């Protein structure tokens, strides 16, 4: 799959691209069906909210689950990212964020590259985030909020917040967020399960707690140009990966092939 010249220009200007319905309902079902089992596992990669129960994020499922292994090499996702980053990419991070009904906690305002630069010594912001919606995302269940054009500001000053949630994060202060939002506004792309949101690794983003009765499962895959791999291995390998092998995109129907195999 290739992005149009207009889509590339929009991404450069706004810092994100929203592709509704990139995966169809049958493909979503293949992935969504794996989530309860992953979330029920008692393993270090499955990180819970402060209540110790609701899943905040499940790391690295592509290393032990076949459906997510296929998603991490899916041509509809990897192709556009290789186009935007001009070359081969590897998986820097893979998360399934639960944002569970009633219990899903806040993600404070931050830039992902802020963490990758400070914690992992990733040389440049030649990396991209891809959000794959496994549930419908609405105004109620904590949609991701983005500040358009904020990716053009480079790495912003941040403080290491170890207290607000169960997950340490380099977060921006209120004055910075206010200033950026005066310029770019805030958008919160919403859409059906199967939609995909690609955003630049320095784009400022956040999400509110989910007080609704509807879960908001989103897979976040962070792909990095192979030449730009991380230089410091401070965080566990299942948080910031150390396998820099270029992704070989799979066939476009790879998820449905898996469903067919399961039905045999």
In the bound state, the residue with its beta carbon closest to ligand SIN is 207
**Of 112 and 120, CB closest to Mn ion:** 112
The SS3 call for residue 133 is: strand
**Of 99 and 225, CB closest to ligand SIN:** 99
Selection from ligand SIN, Mn ion, none that 126 binds (CB < 5 to 8 A by kind) is none
Selection from ligand SIN, Mn ion, none that 255 binds (CB < 5 to 8 A by kind) is none
Count the neighbouring beta carbons within 10 Å of the beta carbon of residue 44. Answer: 11
Q: How far is the CB of 225 from ligand SIN (least distance, A)?
A: 20
Selection from ligand SIN, Mn ion, none that 132 binds (CB < 5 to 8 A by kind) is none
**Is there binding between residue 116 and ligand SIN (CB under 6 A)?**
no
Residues facing 156 on adjacent strands: none
The closest of 82, 85, 75 to 12, measured between CA atoms, is 85
In the bound state, the residue with its beta carbon closest to Mn ion is 112
Instruction: Show contacts with ligand SIN in window 190-229 (CB under 6 A).
Output: 205, 207, 218, 220
Burial of 189 (0-12, 13-18, 19+ CB in 10 A): buried
DSSP state of 104: B
Contacting residues for 102 by C-beta, under 8 A, at least 6 apart: 210, 211, 212, 213
* N-term to C-term CA, the chain: 29
Site for Mn ion, rule CB under 5 A: 112
Q: Which residues bind ligand SIN (CB under 6 A)?
A: 97, 99, 107, 144, 205, 207, 218, 220
């Amino acid at each position: 799959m290739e992005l149009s010249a207009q889509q590339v220009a929009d991404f450069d200007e706004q810092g994100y691209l929203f592709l509704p319905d990139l995966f169809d309902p049958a493909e979503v079902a293949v992935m969504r069906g794996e989530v309860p089992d992953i979330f029920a596992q008692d393993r270090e990669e499955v990180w819970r909210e402060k209540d110790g129960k609701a899943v905040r994020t499940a790391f690295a499922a592509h290393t032990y689950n076949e459906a997510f292994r296929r998603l991490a090499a899916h041509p509809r996702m990897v192709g556009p990212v290789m186009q935007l980053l001009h070359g081969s990419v590897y998986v820097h991070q893979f998360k399934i964020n639960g944002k569970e009904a009633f219990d899903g906690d806040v993600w404070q305002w931050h830039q992902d590259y802020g963490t990758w630069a400070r914690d992992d010594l990733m040389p440049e912001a030649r990396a991209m985030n891809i959000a794959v919606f496994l549930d419908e995302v609405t105004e109620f269940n904590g949609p991701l909020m983005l500040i358009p054009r904020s990716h053009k500001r480079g790495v912003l000053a941040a403080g290491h917040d170890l207290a607000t949630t169960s997950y340490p994060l380099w977060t921006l202060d209120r004055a910075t967020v206010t200033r950026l939002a005066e310029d770019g506004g805030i958008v919160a792309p919403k859409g059906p399960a199967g939609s995909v949101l690609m955003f630049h690794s320095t784009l400022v983003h956040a999400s509110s707690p989910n007080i609704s009765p509807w879960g908001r499962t989103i897979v976040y895959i962070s792909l990095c140009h192979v030449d730009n791999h991380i230089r410091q291995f401070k965080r566990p390998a299942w948080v910031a990966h150390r396998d820099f092998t270029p992704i070989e995109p799979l066939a476009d129907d790879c998820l449905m092939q898996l469903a067919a195999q399961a039905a045999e």
